[in-house]
Amino acid sequence: MATEARMEYTAFSQLAPNATAALTALGKSVIESGLDRSLIELIKIRASQVNGCAYCLQFHLNAARKFKIAQTKIDLVAVWRDAGVFSAREMAALAWTEVLTHVTPAGVSDEAYNDAAKEFTESELAFLTVAIGTINFWNRVAMSYRFSPPIPQEVAHG
């Protein structure tokens, strides 16, 4: 499969500024909701891994480092169930991320919803759901156009 970018993020955002602004506004609403920023980045990393989105994965790995998320968690998010380093709340968020990322025509089970609702208030779960939906949408955009992954900041600055 060819990996050459069809369009880069900057060109896409210039071509579809209102769409980019709307997605950015969704992301901002999640941050303003009070959800822990580390938790938000972990779910974005996991969804991007599941979807195979190199651009978003690198973007959120860079962000996770910026927000000083423990390197062990960053390294082990792909195997979060067995890692033994995630809190019950983080594990519930990662499970909810996988359920919504792998959503099927059967929908979302009551069991999956109830498991997430044990760790999050109604409002928190709503914004967690918005965060997951938004990163899944960004994954689809970035993968469609094969955005080139952003250079990690420590590499970009020498």
Q: What does the pLDDT profile of the chain (158 residues) look like in tens digits?
A: 568 999 999 999 999 999 999 999 999 999 999 999 999 999 999 999 999 999 999 999 999 999 999 999 999 999 999 999 999 999 999 999 999 999 999 999 999 999 999 999 999 999 999 999 999 999 999 999 999 999 876 544 33
Task: Kindly list the domain boundaries of the chain, sorted by start residue.
Answer: 19-145
How far is Cα 126 from Cα 137, in angstroms, rounded to an integer? 17
Query: For the whole model, what pTM was predicted?
Result: 0.92
- Topology, domain 19-145: AhpD-like (1.20.1290)
What is the enclosing helix (H) or strand (E) of 147? none
Residue whose tokens read 């997951």: 132
pLDDT of amino acid 151 = 82
* Cβ–Cβ under 8 Å, residues 141 and 9: no
How far is Cα 51 from Cα 111, in angstroms, rounded to an integer? 23
Q: Which residues pair with 104 in a beta bridge?
A: 107
